[in-house]
Structure 1
């Protein structure tokens, strides 16, 4: 879910920051619902812009495995995004980031155990 009218913020984040592709809505639902769809690899994110928007807590999130996590973290921090570190795990580096609407993403990169 996203705040009504937040379409450009969504595009700035999902396309500009996370490098996703915006997907046109199917003609069957275009115009009936206030939605934006984005694709990242073989996954899709569907955002609904509705009046009953409620921010989501960090406990509910999507986890994306990325390469170059440190470079991405640096880019996100430079852009002013709030990075939230969580409990360290032995086999991966990770952090959380909210999108402009409070939907959380865990971004992580596995590494070899020493």
Structure 2
């Protein structure tokens, strides 16, 4: 082969039409992502883009909408315990999972029902 993979550029999750403000409240307000300006040529499609560090997450509008219940992005976190403590203070539900050897992790859903994984390797 004469090519190689460098990294994932972004992950896109779907959301229903008109949900951009709810996405901003969750990803920007709760999780601390920064909003990115979408290119003008894509703004008519709706949705909203976010970034945290090197991670880009795009929320795209999909009709009819169906949440990703099994497929999901997994975010590596430094100090996962602090994140869980923060989420508890915000009354955000999450489910801990200890099935992956060498990792502490939990799952939660975004406001649209998309599954999200957060983990920290030992």
Q: Which TM-score tier does this pair reach, normalised by the shorter chain? A: 0.7 to 0.9
Say yes or no: does 1:50 pair with 2:62: yes
- Corresponding position of 1:67: 78
Structure 1's consecutive aligned runs of 4 or more residues displaced over 4 angstroms after TM superposition are: none
Say yes or no: does 1:3 pair with 2:16: yes
Shift of 1:26: 0.5
Corresponding residue SS for 1:29: helix
Shift of 1:6: 1.8
Q: Deviations over 1:28-59 (max 9, x none)?
A: 2222x0120111222211112233111211x2
- Corresponding position of 2:3: none
Matching residue within 20, 23, 27 for 2:40 = 27
What residue ranges of structure 1 are gaps of 5+ in the alignment? none
CA contact (8 A) 1:34 1:50 kept: no
Under a length normalisation based on structure 2, what TM-score does the superposition of the two structures give?
0.80
Say yes or no: does 1:89 pair with 2:100: yes
Distance 2:106 2:66 in 1: 22
Shift of 1:80: 2.3
CA contact (8 A) 2:15 2:59 kept: yes
**How many residue pairs are counted as aligned between the two chains?**
109
What residue ranges of structure 2 are gaps of 5+ in the alignment? 1-13
RMSD: 1.5
CA contact (8 A) 2:37 2:49 kept: yes
Under a length normalisation based on structure 1, what TM-score does the superposition of the two structures give?
0.85
Distance 1:51 1:89 in 2: 34
